[in-house]
Amino acid sequence: MSDWETTTLGDLCRQGGGAIQTGPFGSQLHAHDYVAEGVPSVMPQNIGENVISEEGIARISDADAQRLAKYLLQPGDIVYSRRGDVEKRALVRSHNAGWLCGTGCLRVRLGHRSTHDPRFVSYLLGMESARAWIVRHAVGATMPNLNTSILSALPLAIPEPAEQRAIAEVLGALDDKIAANTRLATTADEWVRATWARTCVNADTTRPVASLADSIRDVIDPRDASSDHVYVGLEHMPRRQMWLPDHGLADSVTSAKSGFLEGDVLFGKLRPYFHKVVAAPKSGICSTDVLVLRAQESTLRGFVLAALASDATVAAATASSEGTRMPRASWRDLAAIEVPWPGSSAAEAFSSEVEALRATVDARLAENLALAATRDALLPALMSGALCVRDAERAVESVV
């Protein structure tokens, strides 16, 4: 790294004709301006680990997008949250072009004259040293806040553009594979829901959930579980997607939890309108705010998953939930919900397809965890010069 250029993020942007800019303030975009369909507006909660999450993303009208054109995103921009998890950032990809850098966010743009690789810069900003610097210089004791001045002063050391591109290609290959696996999971979820809808149309009767699944109440002390035993909390469960992309470990929890087996359905009972219903990819323990539901017949596991994860079932569970501020669904009410029943033959055929798809998706999402771990291990090694690009390429080729 001795020949790497020392600069700041602000100078890097200015060199290329870019800038670091704050998104629109609340006075420019009010709550009533958001619409059901329109241009996505990236908020702090949509900033993942170098990616923009579309889950629950807000939208604005085309007219408002034109009015706020100076805040629209371009491929290669990097988005930060102005408060909260201020060290997290997301690279804007081509499919995010034209989206709005929303209220509460900052946009980093290298500029059209820049010779630097924005992908490399986004990885550089993910280094622990950069993250720690941002957190250390953020203002606010209880809620860290970031502004353009702080972000502009962030010190960086960067290599020549050719080496930037080489490093970005290596790390990008891992992220591309992760993205492809994630798209497959999304497509699989959409297929199950669409096929379930057709199944409902063809069903001429219904059955209560209680006739298809049981509520499992296997209380486990985390101290009795292996340290690498899977732990699933509500924070790990995505909204309205039936596959589990991440999880914790048993050694991270101390209080009693519920045990589950592979193929069980985990149904988030706290605030059920969040629609957190997933299939367990392997055995483990979960929060007691999650109902563990098990198909009474193994041949109907996929059918039970689709039925419990359906919009109609979640809506019914939400309607019967108790509590004003923290409503909870109960097994008693969930058990009584009627779901379409197309007959044993059709139900088992559909269930078999869902189970085969689940196995594929679970394998891909498990691969994502391994790919992310490889990327995170290569990142500091490449940035410190401890690992050359050629050796990193060989490591990546073995996993993608």
Burial bucket for residue 100 (CB in 10 Å: 0-12, 13-18, 19+): buried
Query: Residue 227: CB partners within 8 Å, gap ≥ 6?
Result: 249, 250, 251
Q: State pLDDT tens for residues 336-370.
A: 999 999 999 999 999 999 999 999 999 999 999 99
Q: At what angle do helices 161-202 and 389-397 cross, to 10 degrees?
A: 20
Q: How far is CA 147 from the centre of its chain?
A: 25
Query: Is residue 2 very low, low, confident or very high in pLDDT (cuts 50, 70, 90)?
Result: low
| 283: pLDDT strictly greater than 90 | yes
Q: What is the per-residue pLDDT for 280?
A: 97
Rounded Cα distance between 51 and 79, Å, is 9
Q: Packing angle between helix 344-384 and helix 161-202, nearest 10 degrees? A: 170
Model confidence pLDDT, tens digit, residues 249-263: 888 888 889 999 999
The least confident of 67-76, 301-310, 384-393 is 384-393
| Domain spanning 183-358, CATH class | alpha beta
**What are the residues whose beta carbons fall under 8 Å from the beta carbon of 283, sequence distance 6 or more?**
229, 230, 259, 260, 261, 262
Q: 79 and 52 in contact (C-beta within 8 Å)?
A: yes
Region of 343 (left: φ > 0; alpha: ψ -120 to 50; beta: rest) is left
On the question of pLDDT at 142 being above 80, the answer is yes
**What are the pLDDT digits (tens) for 147-179?**
999 999 999 999 999 999 999 999 999 999 999
Q: Which of 161-170, 191-200, 306-315, 389-398 comes out lowest in average pLDDT?
A: 389-398
Class of domain 5-158: alpha beta
Provide the percentage of residues in the chain whose pLDDT is more than 90: 79
pLDDT surpassing 80 at residue 1: no
What pTM was estimated for this model as a whole? 0.84
Residue ranges matching CATH 3.90.220.20 in the chain: 5-158, 183-358
